[in-house]
Structure 1
């Protein structure tokens, strides 16, 4: 029976400041914190050494070149490991498989848990420019079963993926690091809402902006609804004349990426939050398990979304589900929802939302199936 488990946490991607906007980085840190309950954890984070350019982007499409970025490792880093928690890179390529093969060779009795944050993911890799990368992924992921003991899925029900049994978890965050928002002291009846993300077409940002255009076309004297957008929008936001006017009037506020400290200041002026309005574009009926939905809950914010959220029942009084289609979001219905929610004191609303979220999606709840599986494997 093992008495001291050695764990490696392996992830790929840009380096993030824990104080940055990235909820993903904060999720990783909370996962590592929970894994430390099993034993010593070392993190092997692989990240690009240079910026992408035209030649790099072209080379990624070729069969024998890395699909993400080149990375190197020392076999000494991989030896003597009992559990590997391996977060899937953007694409599974021959270099991903080689790393897994080397880990298994050095630790034949060790566990390899392979997290796929979004599954199925083929549709989000759609597009002519991404097709060669997807083909390489499809070719290489067939080999995962040789080395991986369990696939870790987020809010999915598949019992087996790529011939490998699964463990299902839900996303979670460390509530001790995310404070309840401050309730704004204002006599204004303006309604402020926030949407946070590294925006892609499936966030459906266009739907809420179309809704705002329709809302303000009716009259310039309607009750103000202000949308705060935090995160890069270059891929999705087309700024036409109407959008430009809404920005100029301060009705749409674009922040780009913010540090977590800066983001908290925005949270302190809003009273609604928005999940996603276009997940059906990627996979109809998809249920969200996003990190931001957890942070919204921790901040004590009611959530509006076109998709279901895994930890929130549809009849939850602080959740409004809108249509899962391409129609503009009805701003008036959101304002009515806002007024219904805040018919009681805002501080009570915020506290109730946070308390509910903490019971459902803390980092401890998130990693409980992983901790149980590893404990049973090594201690039973």
Structure 2
């Protein structure tokens, strides 16, 4: 089958989302299908272009007219799909339902092409709290047209437990793992006097790292037998560093509790540098505040990447693939500081090798997940 994986944005080497997309493409290919990746980007000459693989299928030009045109002109996608006998369009939702995306989907369906639209997180409206006005206006447009857009797809792919989204049936899958691209963490002997925690993310308010930082602050208010460090790898939204709308900013908390040397910001890391951080870490931190964006049940990519690395971790949401795993520390889905004493006890009592943790998720390969999509269309 010929498939187009349709994005309304580009790819970045530092982005976990970009890596996930490429792994999904690889998963489709492992199922025996031919996949073309359609992206939007700004070329070296500042032209805004839509590309399929390395071929420019439309050059929108430069400046504000080009920026506007790329949001309304999708005929190039339709032409390519029909010309190349594409049978399936797999769309990653950009929360951009509008008359122009509706027109594209309608024409594709009339041409006999199936459409599966992935909504990475649902519900997602609350995620836009605190975003710039123009972004929030965009989501209002999406609200008006999303149900109509959903009528023009064959199914919505979700990582949640919802059986119906926007009036359309869903295909429920888990975020998958590309085991070939994720090295196993090196086994290290436990050091009862020092624990290194690691959070890897493009940090937003729903990650709730402020809860961990405040927990560290309260922990260090009394003499500590175990020294605990929290390492953060990834970009951080400025609003999270200084008094966000949901909690005090990271810097405020660090200064309040005088724990500057225990919270380490590494910035964006990838490849060998990221591997080394995992090798030095003892325990990983997932999302601690999905409740802030109105989400309870979600199967995040990061949880699966942590397990593939072979590192135990904590999170607060409901994730059916991991909730009962012995290497998981579930923390309350509320605004309370993380109990560092509890985390230390959990880690010290844990006796699982990285290999055993990784082997527990063999069923979560991207090949298996994308096969579910194909089989349910």
- TM-score calculated relative to the size of structure 2: 0.83
Per-residue displacement from partner, 1:276-328 (whole Å, max 9, x unpaired)?
Answer: 111111115x12311111110011111111222231133x2211111111111
Say which is worse superposed, 305-314 or 270-279, in terms of deviation.
305-314
Report the CA distance between 1:45 and its aligned residue: 1.3
Q: Is the Cα–Cα contact under 8 Å of residues 192 and 271 in structure 1 kept in the other structure?
A: yes
Verify: 1:307 aligned to 2:307, yes or no.
no
* Alignment equivalent of 1:321, drawn from 325, 330, 335: 330
Aligned equivalents of 2:186 and 2:103: distance in 1?
A: 49
Residue from 228, 232, 257 that aligns with 1:229: 232
1:101 aligns with 2:112: no
Q: State the distance in 2 between where 1:163 and 1:28 align.
A: 26
Query: 5+ unaligned residues in a row in structure 2: which ranges?
Result: 48-63, 243-249
Relative to 1, partners in 2 of residues 1:232 and 1:73: Cα closer, same or farther, differing over 3 Å? Answer: farther
Partners of 1:216 and 1:222 within 8 A in 2: no
Q: Is the 8 A contact 2:121 2:298 kept in 1?
A: no
Moved more, 116-125 or 305-314: 305-314
Could you say if the C-alpha distance between residues 235 and 101 of structure 1 is closer, same or farther in structure 2, counting changes exceeding 3 Å?
Answer: farther
SS of match in other structure, 1:143: helix
Q: CA deviation at 1:270?
A: 0.6
1:21-170 aligned within 5 A: 22-36=15-29, 37-47=31-41, 74=76, 75-79=78-82, 80-105=85-110, 107=111, 109-127=112-130, 129=133, 130-157=135-162, 159-170=163-174
SS of aligned partner of 1:268: helix
The answer to whether residue 210 in structure 2 is matched with residue 216 in structure 1 is no
CA distance in 1, matches of 2:221, 2:70: 45
Indicate conservation of the 8 Å contact 2:192/2:226, yes or no.
no
> 2:109 touches 2:152 (CA, 8 Å); kept in 1?
yes
Residues 323 and 356 of structure 1, relative CA distance in 2, 3 Å threshold: same
Tell me which residue corresponds to 1:338.
347
Corresponding residue to 2:3 among 4, 7, 21: 7
The yes-or-no answer on 1:356 pairing with 2:356 is: no
Hey, what does 1:377 align to over in structure 2?
Answer: none
Please say if 1:191 is aligned against 2:191. no
2: CA distance between counterparts of 1:365 and 1:243?
Answer: 43
Q: Partners in 1 of 2:339 and 2:70 — Cα distance?
A: 39
Give distance in 2, aligned partners of 1:241 and 1:201. Answer: 15
Q: Distance in 2 between matches of 1:296 and 1:340?
A: 19
Whole-Å Cα distance in 1 between the matches of residues 164 and 106 of structure 2? Answer: 21
Gaps of at least 5 residues in structure 1 are 52-58, 60-64, 375-380
Change (3 A) 1:86 1:187: closer
Q: 1:172 aligns with which of 171, 176, 191?
A: 176
Q: Shift of the alpha carbon at 1:70? A: 7.0
State the Cα RMSD in Å.
2.7
